[in-house]
Amino acid sequence: MQKVSILANDRVFVLTGAGVSAESGIQTFRDSDGLWAGYRIEDVCTPDAWEASPARVWDFYSARREAAFKAEPNPGHFALAELEQWLGERFFLCTQNVDDLHERAGSERLVHMHGELAMARCEDDCGQPPVSDRTIYKSLTAVGRCSCGARMRPHIVFFGEMPLEMGKIQREIDRSTLMMVIGTSGSVYPAANFVRWARQKGARTVYIGPEAPQNAESFSEIVLGKAGQVLPGLFQVEG
């Protein structure tokens, strides 16, 4: 069985995508049975879509909430939480996923660069922080208002918006010596560039997933397989 060695002085940066939650029953985006086969991005996941129809956008994200809240973490999520237990602050997880399965598996040092399903925020970015919101909305009239009067929107990074926590992510990439990218097609930027940034700094770069991603040429190693099957037992921690 293929192993990824983690040396005593390694700092590990992990980037995950929809593939890591696939075995938990959450649809990916670009696989043949993925979400973007059934929806148009420009209808549900852009600032213009929100402008044109907040009801349609909330409908889409309410359905995502429903699916994510009933899902359970799979062995892939647990393997990453266990790796963090071993490595402590030498481990950092950046997920593109908006579900909370990493947290529910025990991961703590993580950022959600594309936002979180279980939160909402002011559509006008008035300065109020995002709030917890787990409602499955059936109609727009049920959606609350911010204290400034604007409508609350999903705490999701729409296409065309800046991902969250980029400063922290950049610092963690710069000091990592091993980057592992798991279950992402490598087609959405800037996340698809992280492997190149890490490689420029001299890090080893490993991809894990059932098929090679679009940015495959940037990886020093590719481990083919499903996250939930491959991740448990993949890491050999040497110090």
Binding site for ligand APR (CB under 6 A): 17-20, 22-23, 28-31, 34, 96, 114, 183-185, 187-188, 209-211, 213, 226-227
Nearest residue to ligand APR by CB is: 19
Q: Is 145 left (phi over 0), alpha (psi -120 to 50) or beta?
A: beta
Of 25 and 144, which CB lies nearer to ligand APR in the complex structure?
25
Q: Quote the CA–CA distance of 108 and 139 in Å, as a whole number.
A: 34
Q: Among residues 77, 102, 114, 155, which one is catalytic?
A: 114
Could you tell me the two tokens for 117?
Answer: 């399903």
Whether residue 182 contacts residue 209, with contact meaning beta carbons closer than 8 Å, is answered with yes
Closest approach, Cβ 22 to ligand APR, in A, equals: 4
Of 106 and 210, which CB lies nearer to ligand APR in the complex structure?
210
Of 24 and 176, which CB lies nearer to ligand APR in the complex structure?
24
For 201-229, the DSSP string reads: TT-EEEEEESS--TTGGG-SEEEES-HHH
Closest approach, Cβ 86 to ligand APR, in A, equals: 21
Closest approach, Cβ 143 to ligand APR, in A, equals: 21
For 118-165, the DSSP string reads: EEEEETT--SPPPEE-----SSGGGS-B-TTSPBEEEEE--TTSPPTT
Closest approach, Cβ 141 to ligand APR, in A, equals: 28
Of 146 and 208, which CB lies nearer to ligand APR in the complex structure?
208
Active site residue 114: yes
What residues are labeled active site? 114
